[in-house]
Amino acid sequence: MSASQAAQIISQVGSNSLGLSQAAIAQLNSDYAPLNFEERIRRLYQDFAPEKVLVTSSFAATSAYFLHIISQIRPEQVIHFINTGFHFTETLDYRDYLIRRFNLTVEDICPDKHHHAYSISEQLWDKDPDLCCSANKVQPLEEVKDRYHVWVSSLMGWQTEHRAGLPIFEERRGIIKFNPMVDVSKADRDEYIATHDLPFHPLVAEGYSSIGCTHCTVKGEGRAGRWQGKEKTECGLHL
């Protein structure tokens, strides 16, 4: 089955869990494997209905690379930002800067106000970080995903052991997950950023390599600065 045939099934059925078989996902992976990151994004908009493509960004360490490519290929693409209410001021400033520089359309995804308030009153980031992430990140995105067929992530394999094992396409909780950057190396990323004079998140210069919510992020190499002292390594969005 070709990638375009697989996409047609999705558009007709409207349910990824029923509309795309494991064989079709395998074919997508085979078709996209020889392509580079930019070529994969271009191909995605040919094989899938553009209005059914969900793009999210955390506006973290090197989001400029990912968003620069997206904005060049489909300027009208809406970028969804999960605004947990716990972001660094620098992250919000970085988001606003990239919006202006790339002329982005960004929509915030916000948690339920009662769940968010409970997170604060119970300090869930310390007592139960998994529940905190679920309430403020995972569940809000789940409520948006139903409107789309494919979700584009900016995960790179060198970031964590879990991410290193991800395919380009996978089915993840009822939606087709697209990981076009999974085989992009850190050197490739840095070269692109330097070539196009793109800005890193301002906290990178201060020693932060992976940047999330204020309560769960400290300085450190790689993902070492996330959820320090806990076994947790992922917020749950990509699990």
- 41-78 burial, b for 16+ CB within 10 Å, e for fewer? bebbeebbeeeebbbbbbbbbbbbbbbbbbbeebeebe
Catalytic one of 132, 133, 216, 235: 235
> Known catalytic residue: 132?
no
List Cα–Cα distances, 11 to 144, 150, 199, 216, 238, in angstroms: 17, 11, 37, 39, 24
Instruction: Compute the Cα dihedral for 202, 87, 177, 182 and give only its sign.
Output: positive
- Residue carrying structure tokens 């993840």: 172
C-alpha to C-alpha distance for 150 and 138, rounded to whole angstroms: 16
Positions annotated as catalytic residues are: 235
